């Protein structure tokens, strides 16, 4: 892509009404349609600049704090890649090696790590009712630090997965769909099956399926949410998604049949999650460190999961989709039958056929994260990107 073409992409930002400066990116449904579209434009612009061999670096100093309170591969590396893309140094916050282990408050920690920080990425999805709350507590402390003149500027907080939403994942997924189908406007009317699928493990967060229905419902898509009885998501998120689907000209259907969800679907997203009531039961047990009770709950849940081994994305189920060629999606890692487990979310032949597509899906996440950071830090993102493009620094001397 030429600099002129990239410049036209940047111009697409100028008509957007944005209020993202000094704001955090926690839930997609808190952002306006213009703000969501601006995030996609910035992500595509940064991607185009890198592909053209141009450096998209905004900063020549400053750090980004990485706070992962749960394990991660794709999101951890995506955050590091995004921050490096913008010119920021990554510093992991290891709570076990910090004063947090000695009772340091969230307010104090948030300010102490932010004197020269531009962004803070937080993954906190272990405890239902806690992750989003923690991220907001950090954001409030940053607001207070800036208002008091303690901080020279406010880092932007990016939700790298909470108990409620996984916006970097869902935004990367939607950008992947936009490219696959030829534009965001082409998503209207497309049917997406967000379906529970069997897994030989339990306790998987609700935030991925909630993130998908919470975002797809903003773009006029036909959503079919499917799961066995008892595997509910957070009721308020489901209700909000149904409301948003109606407002955007799409639809929302809640079913208890994977076959029904897959029927005539353009996109399928079979993904395991724990039932809402199970996640509620886990919270006090995790907080109290009650390993015996957690083991007993796990045993019960795995036994219940085993009743639904037929909830697998098989070749037969894929034939139910539109033309038998729906796009398969997954946030990864998928539980692949006869590969990573004896029985899982997806048949090996289905996953292998769409493996490169899932990798492409994941490849958009670093650019989405970088876009979230830039939009939270720049008063005029179009002008910022135009200056970087005009500078025209080569990314590599190879």
Domain-located, residue 397 = no
The answer on 209 and 249 residing in a single domain is yes
Q: Residue 52, exposed/middle/buried by CB under 10 A (0-12, 13-18, 19+)?
A: middle
Q: What residue numbers bound the domain in which 213 lies?
A: 168-362
Per-residue pLDDT, averaged over 127-140, amounts to 95
Partners of 346 in the β-ladder? 313, 336
Task: Give pLDDT tens digits for 290-299.
Answer: 999 999 999 9
Task: Give pLDDT tens digits for 57-92.
Answer: 999 999 999 999 888 889 999 999 999 999 999 999
The answer on 386 and 358 residing in a single domain is no
The answer on 247 and 159 residing in a single domain is no
The answer on 225 and 105 residing in a single domain is no
Domain-located, residue 396 = no
What's the structural domain count of the chain? 2
The answer on 211 and 130 residing in a single domain is no
Q: Tokens representing 392? A: 């025209």
- Ranges 71-80, 113-122, 222-231: which has the least confidence: 71-80
pLDDT at 257: 98
pLDDT at 100: 61
Per-residue pLDDT, averaged over 372-395, amounts to 97
CB 213 within 8 A of CB 237: yes
Domain-located, residue 292 = yes
Q: How many CB atoms lie within 10 A of CB 134?
A: 17
Domain-located, residue 116 = yes
Place of tokens 């995790």: 286
The answer on 314 and 372 residing in a single domain is no
Domain-located, residue 334 = yes
259 alpha carbon, distance to own chain's centre:
26
The answer on 287 and 161 residing in a single domain is no
The answer on 281 and 294 residing in a single domain is yes
The answer on 356 and 299 residing in a single domain is yes
Per-residue pLDDT, averaged over 102-110, amounts to 83
Domain-located, residue 36 = yes
Domain-located, residue 398 = no
Residue 118 has pLDDT above 70, yes or no: yes
pTM of the shown model:
0.96
CATH number for 86:
3.40.50.1370
CB 268 within 8 A of CB 193: yes
Per-residue pLDDT, averaged over 369-396, amounts to 97
pLDDT at 286: 86
Q: Tokens representing 303? A: 């036994």
The answer on 11 and 152 residing in a single domain is yes
The answer on 371 and 357 residing in a single domain is no
Domain-located, residue 145 = yes
Q: In which element (H, E) is residue 214 found?
A: helix 207-216
The answer on 140 and 200 residing in a single domain is no
């Amino acid at each position: 892509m030429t600099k002129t073409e990239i410049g036209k992409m940047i111009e697409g930002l100028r008509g957007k009404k944005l209020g993202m400066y000094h704001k955090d990116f926690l839930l997609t449904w808190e952002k306006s349609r213009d703000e969501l579209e601006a995030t996609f434009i910035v992500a595509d612009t940064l991607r185009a600049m890198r592909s053209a061999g141009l450096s998209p670096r905004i900063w020549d100093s400053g750090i980004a704090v990485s706070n992962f309170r749960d394990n991660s591969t794709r999101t951890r590396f995506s955050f590091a890649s995004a921050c490096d893309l913008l010119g920021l140094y990554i510093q992991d916050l290891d709570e076990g090696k910090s004063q947090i282990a000695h009772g340091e408050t969230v307010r104090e920690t948030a300010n102490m790590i932010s004197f020269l920080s531009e962004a803070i990425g937080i993954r906190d999805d272990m405890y239902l009712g806690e992750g989003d709350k923690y991220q907001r507590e950090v954001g409030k402390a940053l607001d207070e630090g800036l208002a008091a003149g303690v901080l020279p500027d406010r880092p932007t907080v990016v939700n790298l997965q909470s108990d409620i939403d996984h916006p970097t994942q869902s935004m990367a997924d939607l950008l992947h769909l936009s490219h696959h189908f030829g534009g965001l406007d082409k998503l209207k009317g497309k049917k997406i099956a967000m379906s529970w699928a069997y897994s030989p493990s339990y306790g998987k967060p609700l935030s991925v399926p909630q993130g998908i229905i919470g975002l797809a419902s903003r773009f006029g898509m036909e959503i079919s949410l499917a799961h066995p009885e008892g595997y509910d998501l957070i009721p308020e998120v489901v209700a909000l998604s149904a409301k948003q689907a109606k407002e955007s000209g799409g639809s929302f259907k809640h079913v208890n049949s994977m076959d029904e969800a897959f029927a005539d679907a353009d996109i399928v997203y079979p993904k395991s999650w724990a039932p809402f009531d199970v996640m509620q039961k886990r919270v006090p047990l995790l907080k109290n460190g009650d390993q015996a009770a957690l083991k007993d709950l796990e045993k019960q849940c795995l036994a219940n999961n085993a009743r639904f081994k037929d909830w697998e994305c098989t070749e037969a189920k894929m034939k139910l989709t539109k033309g038998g060629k729906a796009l398969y999606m997954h946030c990864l890692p998928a539980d692949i039958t006869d590969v990573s487990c004896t029985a899982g979310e997806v048949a090996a032949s289905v996953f292998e056929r769409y493996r490169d597509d899932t990798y492409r899906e994941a490849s958009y996440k670093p650019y989405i994260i970088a876009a979230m950071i830039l939009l939270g830090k720049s008063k005029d993102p179009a002008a910022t990107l135009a200056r970087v493009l005009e500078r025209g620094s080569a990314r590599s001397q190879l």
